[in-house]
Structure 1
Amino acid sequence: MLIRSVISGALASFLSIAAAGAQDTRNLLESKESLYNNIYVYEQAPYRSMTFGHNRRIYTESVYNTRDELDLPVDYTRFMTASVMYTKDIRSILEIGFGGGRTAWYLHRFLPKVQVTSVELDPTVLELAKKYFGIKEEPNFHVANRDGRLFVQESKERYDIILIDAYRGPFVPFHLLTKEFYQLVKDHLAEGGVVAQNVEPSTMLFDAAVKTIHSVFPQVDFYEAGGNIVMVAYPGDERKPEDLAGIAQERDKEFGFRYKLADMLAQRKRIDIDNGQVIDAKAKVLTDDFAPVEALKTIERHNRKLP
């Protein structure tokens, strides 16, 4: 999970990376080096953060309010839950990219009868999420230690919602950003199901990522979320605003979500992806057989850190 949101008050101070150690008032709870990440867990009450070191920079992956487990301090994690108003049914949810588990845990708490499965590649991330971020195994809540694409490929299940929030530094792992991957995801959606993905808009791959998901899913809605973009994609016809508004109102009332679907719907954006005015017309659809050598090497190493 990647956070680039600008958050006010104490949380903004908490998320910032200090220019020098003396200026950083956070308390380092634990640091670990795994096969995949250099992981640091910080605390500045009431918030805890899980951060990854990548190419001499620090990226905040997850933020947890220790006084309020239902708080989603970071904007994009809230907008990932907008997917709930799109799906025909809510029986099963799959999340690829767990991090500190805040989005999955929030949905589990408000939808306790729904099967929530999250997949995380790094076992050390899971260890620290359980130790510091209030995560535990419960009925209808399960976290699998597996590569997300391999998990979907091997799964016989179909899901009403698939959330994609896997990051390595500032980038989504390439094998989770190709046309073949999105086709695999589509094949594992239940009837009326949707996909939501968190995408960092300032990277050079953003336009290609939009074109690629659109090559599989004809409908893509955009939610600007504090510096990130959440894309909600689905097959079939466009879900009309009035229909979404009705579902949002019903499900807000039924489940009592902290962050109202109706409020998020007001931020929905539709753009013409094909006319080249917003998304670069020269951007390429990403495929498994066309990837940077560095990305292919990473995939061969099962996404482990390069020496």
Structure 2
Amino acid sequence: MLIRSVIFGALASVLFTAASQAQDTRHLLESKESLYNNIYVYEQPPYRSMTFGHNRRIYTESVYNTQDEKDLPVDYTRFMTASLMYAKDVHSILEIGFGGGRTAWYLHRFLPDVPVTSVELDPTVLELAKKYFGIKEEPNFHVANRDGRLFLQESKDRYDVILIDAYRGPFVPFHLLTKEFYQLVKDHLADGGVVAQNIEPTTMLFDSAIKTINTVFPQLDFYRADGNIVTVAYLGDERKAEDLAALAQERDKAYGLRYRLQDMPAERRRIDVNGGDVIAADAKVLSDDFAPVENLKSIERHNRKLP
């Protein structure tokens, strides 16, 4: 749609392009096949990348600057941290979808007194993240090997910031896109909490994903990040620009962040989800395709690799 292109800019994928290009310039350090992914770790000094193979293409999940552990080379990961200027408090952070762990590790390094919990389904991904991406267990930094939705169902904890960045190739697993899932996320937010999610806008599910999030969270802000869209969702009234700017300045000073929150509101966009030409009027709200009694079996089916 023309209006979407005006608002969001060119929608080229932030995920690195075809496998042929990647393999021409990068050295393969290790590849492993797990129950959930075909995983490749490449090196092109000073960078290492974790990639997942899907339908004969390679999609980059995480990039690590081996000479600077506080670097976030992939643009959208920087905008995931914009959530810090929305949350009323920052006493706890949850990330669903760990990959190489660079976003969670960045937050841990700059907010060492704040507990950061990440949830990663694939144990092989965790193994490679620890081996190649400078990740290790530390006080206030924990990675749980679990499906993100099941983790929330089993947890009684609430979080000030919840980050959702779980992908298989170009798609978010469906059970992490439904109205019931976002209601579960809402139930695990602390008072004044916020959710940030990376959503690839060129897929056919983008419009439905935005509509679905909006059924649970009345407020949505969008940040364009080199082709990807980071959606910040929250309850209550719209956060005014001057309020975001004040809190951004306060938290930049408190945390000394490498990527300043004060620089991010310039990319903030507000759109009418249920009207206008940006989100398709006929986009469907996504809901679970299984009854509660079938929960475990259905989530397992969604998680497995396609044949």
Q: TM-score, normalised by structure 2?
A: 0.91
Cα deviations by residue, 1:132-188 (Å, 9 ceiling, x for unpaired)? 000000000000000000001110000000000000111000000000000000000
The CA RMSD measured in Å over matched residues stands at: 1.9
User: Does the C-alpha gap of structure 1 residues 266 and 95 become closer, same or farther in structure 2, counting only changes over 3 Å?
Assistant: same
- Distance in 1 separating the partners of 2:237 and 2:301: 39
Which residue does 2:33 correspond to in 1? 33
SS at match of 1:43: strand
- Distance in 1 separating the partners of 2:185 and 2:21: 43
Q: Mapping of 1:1-307 within 5 angstroms?
A: 4-5=13-14, 15-17=16-18, 19=20, 24-289=24-289, 299-301=299-301, 303-307=303-307
SS at match of 2:306: coil
- Distance in 2 separating the partners of 1:195 and 1:91: 14
Q: CA deviation at 1:16?
A: 4.8
- Distance in 2 separating the partners of 1:221 and 1:72: 21
- Say how many residue pairs are matched: 292
CA contact (8 A) 2:218 2:235 kept: yes
- Distance in 1 separating the partners of 2:19 and 2:230: 28
Q: CA deviation at 1:129?
A: 0.1
User: Does the C-alpha gap of structure 1 residues 301 and 167 become closer, same or farther in structure 2, counting only changes over 3 Å?
Assistant: same
- Distance in 1 separating the partners of 2:13 and 2:279: 21
Which residue does 2:7 correspond to in 1? none
SS at match of 2:279: coil
SS at match of 1:24: helix
- Distance in 2 separating the partners of 1:17 and 1:170: 12
Q: Which amino acid aligns with 1:217?
A: F
CA contact (8 A) 1:298 1:306 kept: no
Cα deviations by residue, 1:231-285 (Å, 9 ceiling, x for unpaired)? 0000111111100100000111111100000101111101111114210010010
- Distance in 2 separating the partners of 1:20 and 1:244: 40
- Distance in 2 separating the partners of 1:139 and 1:299: 31
Cα deviations by residue, 1:40-90 (Å, 9 ceiling, x for unpaired)? 000000000000011111111100000000000000000000000000000
- Distance in 2 separating the partners of 1:170 and 1:44: 23
CA contact (8 A) 1:17 1:24 kept: no
CA contact (8 A) 2:175 2:302 kept: no
Q: CA deviation at 1:301?
A: 2.7
Which residue does 1:10 correspond to in 2? none
Identity of aligned residues (%): 81
CA contact (8 A) 1:162 1:189 kept: yes
- Distance in 1 separating the partners of 2:173 and 2:58: 17
SS at match of 1:229: strand
- Distance in 2 separating the partners of 1:20 and 1:258: 30
SS at match of 2:20: coil
SS at match of 1:203: coil
CA contact (8 A) 2:173 2:302 kept: no
- Distance in 2 separating the partners of 1:142 and 1:285: 33
Which residue does 2:9 correspond to in 1? none
SS at match of 1:157: coil
- Distance in 2 separating the partners of 1:272 and 1:247: 25
User: Does the C-alpha gap of structure 1 residues 20 and 106 become closer, same or farther in structure 2, counting only changes over 3 Å?
Assistant: closer
- Distance in 2 separating the partners of 1:222 and 1:273: 11
- Structure 2 segments unaligned to the other structure (5+ residues): 1-11, 291-295
User: Does the C-alpha gap of structure 1 residues 18 and 304 become closer, same or farther in structure 2, counting only changes over 3 Å?
Assistant: closer
Q: Which amino acid aligns with 2:38?
A: N
Q: Which amino acid aligns with 2:241?
A: P
Q: CA deviation at 1:18?
A: 5.5
CA contact (8 A) 1:94 1:163 kept: yes
